[in-house]
Amino acid sequence: MTTHNPSHPPPPTPLSQATTTNKPIVAFTTPPNYASRLSRLLTLKGYDPIWCPTLGVHATPHTLIPYLSPPNLDAYSALAFTSRAAIHSLSAAAAAFDQPLLSPHGEAFIVAALGKDSELINHDVVSKLCENAERIRLLVPPVATPSGLVELLGDGLSRRILCPVPLVVGLTEPPVVPDFLRDLEAKGWVPVRVSAYETRWAGADCARGVVERGRELGAVVFTSSAEVEGLLKSLREFGWRDWDEFVRERCPEVVVAAHGPVTAAGAERLGVKVDVVSSRFDSFEGVVDALGLR
């Protein structure tokens, strides 16, 4: 029988070199709004995905109404989205009005979004914003991070920018949004934060799939640091003190993958060692491809 020092677990076995006759099992913790896309990509790459959501996302379009009610949005020069959920919530809120939110005349109005999220800024969304589509200027940073978005936005010149972001319930708010707002201020913008949706812990039982399948897991994929915290909080409910203890005793060869450096940094901050970080994080294809490179 092979033994190892529990304080120095062996390095993870590459999923691409797995010797099992079954497909490598990959757990992922993403909220429902991203689950089908990530599951499909994992399946296409030959993995057996198991979905263990640790967060729930609940749209609250009513919180946006006071900011969008015409002509209130004309007081802003830009709209910055850091998630798909925010775009969906704003689109739902805009549908409550029988006229576009912006006047057809005036300076260019900037709409900024990350990576594939920008595909949601389609003709329907633009028409809800302004009947003059030429007034809308879509910005998509080459590096799909909030800091990349800030860099692309450039000098704010004391202009106001509306930032629809989540209200985090039952978990500690990750530093991503506060850092984003601080960086905007440093660039001369006047960011106005508004809760567009709620991110809630999925509850004490949300890690059950990971716990029950722990010995079979080839990898766990995280797409946000809040997912990591949600999993750890649930693991404690199952009696595990921390991630290291769980991994050491249940799945010492598991590969931990993070969707981009922001998620990786958040996971490490929470005590979860990350083995794989996607270099392309404008979509989930980057992290799924990275699994096969180990």
pTM, full prediction? 0.84
- Cα–Cα distance, 153 to 147 (Å, whole number): 10
Strand duo 160-169 + 78-80: pairing: parallel
Average pLDDT rounded to a whole number, residues 58-64: 96
Q: What are the residues whose beta carbons fall under 8 Å from the beta carbon of 227, sequence distance 6 or more?
A: 29, 30, 31, 54, 55
Residue 4 lies in a domain: no
197 lies in which domain range?
58-201
Nearest-angstrom CA–CA distance, 143 and 115: 8
Q: For the ranges 20-29, 109-118, 153-162, which has the lowest average pLDDT?
A: 20-29
CA nearest 255: which of 272, 230, 233, 279? 272
Asked whether residue 192 is assigned to any structural domain, the reply reads yes
How far is the C-alpha of 248 from the C-alpha of 235, rounded, in Å? 14
Are residues 76 and 130 both part of a single domain? yes
Do 263 and 137 have their domain in common?
A: no
**What is the pLDDT, as a whole number, of residue 279?**
83
Residue 156 inside a domain? The answer is yes
Pairing of strands 55-59, 190-201: antiparallel
Evaluate whether residue 264 is within a structural domain.
yes
Q: Output the pLDDT for position 282.
A: 78
Q: If residue 112 lies in a helix (H) or strand (E), which one and from where to where?
A: strand 109-112
